[in-house]
Structure 1
C-alpha cells in the first residue's frame, strides 16, 4: 500500500511519531519527493491487510500528533513562565540551606 503525505501540512516529526506508533504491526519505507512524502506500508503478519482501515488509523494518528505539536508550540511560553516561577524561589538558596 502506498500513502502520500504533504510535508507542507505534516512535519517530519509528526510522520515519524505516527510510523513509530504503528511499527509493531507494519513496516514502512519512506521516500521524500519534493514536498510530498511517499510511504510504502506492508503488514508484518500474514493476516489480511484492510487498507481502508489502516489508512483511516494512520491519518487519525497523524492528525493527533499534528495537534499535539500545535498545542506544544502555542503553550511553550506559558510552560517556560511556569517553570521559571516554580523554581524561582530556589535561586536564592545557599549551600547551607541545601545541607539542612
Structure 2
C-alpha cells in the first residue's frame, strides 16, 4: 500500500501555472514509525537549495523529537534571517 502511494505520488506531474510546486506527505506506518515524502519540481530547487531544505527539515524534526523527549511542547521560535531572497534579487 505504501509502495503504491509513493509510486503514484512520484508519478504525479506538476502544473507550472498552479501552485504548489512542492508536495510533502507524512505517512504513519505504525505507532513509532512514520515515512516522510518530499516531491518538488526541479524548477524550484537545485542541488544546493534542495540540500539546504532537507537539512532544515531534519534539524527541525530532531528538535521536535528532543522537545517531545523533554516533555516541552513549546518549540523555540527561530529569529528571522537577516537577509531574505528578495534582498539578494534587489542587489542582483
Place the TM-score, normalised by the shorter chain, in its bin: 0.3 to 0.5
- After TM superposition, the score normalised by the length of structure 2 is 0.36
Q: Which has the larger radius of gyration?
A: 1
Which structure: greater helix fraction?
Answer: 1
